[in-house]
């Protein structure tokens, strides 16, 4: 028998793990009442996935709210791939249903409930608060006529804006039940890994929703209160039959829907990038400037991705250290690799990195135009 080469050469194979992937921000879910399904085998407290409204019709009557929500969701252009429907447990409150799905690890980002909860403003506000705390976006539609009345300050939009939940918006329509859910479906098709993919909700088309033509008083009331609406736009006898207007969330920070949505995705991408930078090293990430630089580079890669997809953009800013005005491409990482040499003994003993400070500048979106024509 020959002498084995392995006795001379010892090979150690180090394998990188796959790491975590980013969250699916296109996942939408309808919370259906426990008795709304026509399929008796659909068990309370469980969910099913559907690829079309016609598939939903196999489990729910076409007159039901879940089917109507599915029609709105799948009417969006481009068409979403799937919709998830969770069957609520009898006697659970709406917040208990929401938390039950979350605690069972059923993933979703956008969500809606059946129209029956519209009769109880307190339930709507509770869902907005609970969803916001859990990182879920409540795409809600109201049919309350008082939303269009400037003299009324107790309508659901006014109440929701006072509450200030970031991950919620209220679409106002006289008859449509799921206008807001179709707006959510439009956002659900954003691919943050693709170039120029981020969008604004403003001026989007909703093929499954009837556009309204309202009074100037109604328009001004909805804009002032913060309601989203879908309307006919007209000038000189020419009409554009349907555009989303006033696409704001109920955030106390005055954010648009896309401001909140994009920041959630950006934060998730940063979390995953830094987690993978820490865990995919087959040996260890050294507590040295070289190790710190790996983390800084991971954050910078996310910054570059979100410049490419359109969330971040050029901005003039004042440098905090020099006081000079500078032009940023869309983000600045203020932490240096050498900062890890300055961490305390306690931080070093806890195996911490130097905190990464990142300044980001949103590209935003243009919604209005002012023009002055000097005629000579």
CA–CA separation, 52 and 159 (whole Å): 34
Q: State which H helix or E strand residue 31 sits in.
A: strand 28-32
Among 233, 262, 291, identify where a domain stops: 262
The verdict on 236 and 146 lying in the same domain is yes
pLDDT at residue number 119? 85
The verdict on 144 and 181 lying in the same domain is yes
The verdict on 45 and 100 lying in the same domain is yes
Judged against a pLDDT cut of 90, whether residue 12 lies above it is answered with: no
Inside any domain, residue 100: yes
Confidence of residue 5 (pLDDT cuts 50, 70, 90): low
Among 199, 230, 262, identify where a domain stops: 262
Give how many domains the chain has, as a whole number: 2
pLDDT digits (tens, 9 = 90+) for 166-202: 999 999 999 999 999 999 999 999 999 999 999 999 9
Confidence of residue 6 (pLDDT cuts 50, 70, 90): low
Inside any domain, residue 4: no
The verdict on 238 and 312 lying in the same domain is no
Instruction: Check residue 167 and report its DSSP letter.
Output: S
The verdict on 197 and 344 lying in the same domain is no
Inside any domain, residue 203: yes
Instruction: Check residue 19 and report its DSSP letter.
Output: -
Among 262, 289, 314, identify where a domain stops: 262
The verdict on 285 and 194 lying in the same domain is no
Q: State which H helix or E strand residue 111 sits in.
A: strand 110-113
Residue range 150-175: mean pLDDT, rounded: 98
The verdict on 62 and 205 lying in the same domain is yes
The verdict on 100 and 238 lying in the same domain is yes
CA–CA separation, 227 and 274 (whole Å): 37
Percent of the chain with pLDDT over 70: 97
Judged against a pLDDT cut of 80, whether residue 57 lies above it is answered with: yes
Inside any domain, residue 149: yes
Q: What does the H/E/C string look like for 314-374?
A: CEEEECCCCCCEEEECCEEECCCHHHHHHCCHHHHHCCCCCCCCEEECECCCCCCCCCCCC
The verdict on 290 and 256 lying in the same domain is no
CA–CA separation, 373 and 376 (whole Å): 10
Inside any domain, residue 23: no
CA–CA separation, 69 and 67 (whole Å): 5
The verdict on 176 and 235 lying in the same domain is yes
The verdict on 249 and 290 lying in the same domain is no
Inside any domain, residue 5: no
pLDDT at residue number 299? 97
pTM, rounded to two decimals: 0.94
The verdict on 219 and 293 lying in the same domain is no
Inside any domain, residue 224: yes
Inside any domain, residue 253: yes
CA atoms within a 13 Å half-sphere pointing along the CA-CB vector of 103: 8
The CA-atom distances, in angstroms, between 215 and each of 146, 149, 272 are 14, 11, 48
Domain that holds residue 186: 28-262
Judged against a pLDDT cut of 70, whether residue 13 lies above it is answered with: no
């Amino acid at each position: 028998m020959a002498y084995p080469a392995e006795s001379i050469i010892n090979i150690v194979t180090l394998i990188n793990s796959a790491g975590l992937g980013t969250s699916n921000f296109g996942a939408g879910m309808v919370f259906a009442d426990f008795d709304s399904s026509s399929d008796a085998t659909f068990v309370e407290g469980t969910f099913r996935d559907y690829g079309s409204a016609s598939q939903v019709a196999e489990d729910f009557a076409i007159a039901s709210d879940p089917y109507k929500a599915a029609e709105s969701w799948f009417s969006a252009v481009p068409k979403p791939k799937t919709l998830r429907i969770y069957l609520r447990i009898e006697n659970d409150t709406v917040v208990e249903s929401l938390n039950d799905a979350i605690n069972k690890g059923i993933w979703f980002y956008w969500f809606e409930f059946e129209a029956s909860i519209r009769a109880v403003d307190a339930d709507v506000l509770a869902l907005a608060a609970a969803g916001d705390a859990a990182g879920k976006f409540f795409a809600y539609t109201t049919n309350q006529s008082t939303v269009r009345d400037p003299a009324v300050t107790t309508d659901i939009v006014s109440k929701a804006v006072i509450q200030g939940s970031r991950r919620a918006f209220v679409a106002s329509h006289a008859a449509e039940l799921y206008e807001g859910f179709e707006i959510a479906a439009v956002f659900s098709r954003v691919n943050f890994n693709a170039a120029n993919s981020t969008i604004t909700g403003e001026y989007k088309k909703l093929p499954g929703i009837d556009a309204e033509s309202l009074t100037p008083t109604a328009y001004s009331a909805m804009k002032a209160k913060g309601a989203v609406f879908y309307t006919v736009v007209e000038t000189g006898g020419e009409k554009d039959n349907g555009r989303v207007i006033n696409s704001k969330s109920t955030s106390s920070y005055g954010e648009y829907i896309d401001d909140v949505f994009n920041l959630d995705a950006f934060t998730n991408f940063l979390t995953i990038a830094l987690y993978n930078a820490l865990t995919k090293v087959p040996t260890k990430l050294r507590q040295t400037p070289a190790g710190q630089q790996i983390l800084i580079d991971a954050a910078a890669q996310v910054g570059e991705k979100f410049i490419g997809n359109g969330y971040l953009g050029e901005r003039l800013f004042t440098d905090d250290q020099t006081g000079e005005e500078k032009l940023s491409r869309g983000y600045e990482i203020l932490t240096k690799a050498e900062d890890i040499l300055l961490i305390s003994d306690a931080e070093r003993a806890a195996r911490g990195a130097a905190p990464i400070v990142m300044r980001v500048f949103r590209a935003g979106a243009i919604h209005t135009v002012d023009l002055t024509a000097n005629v000579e």
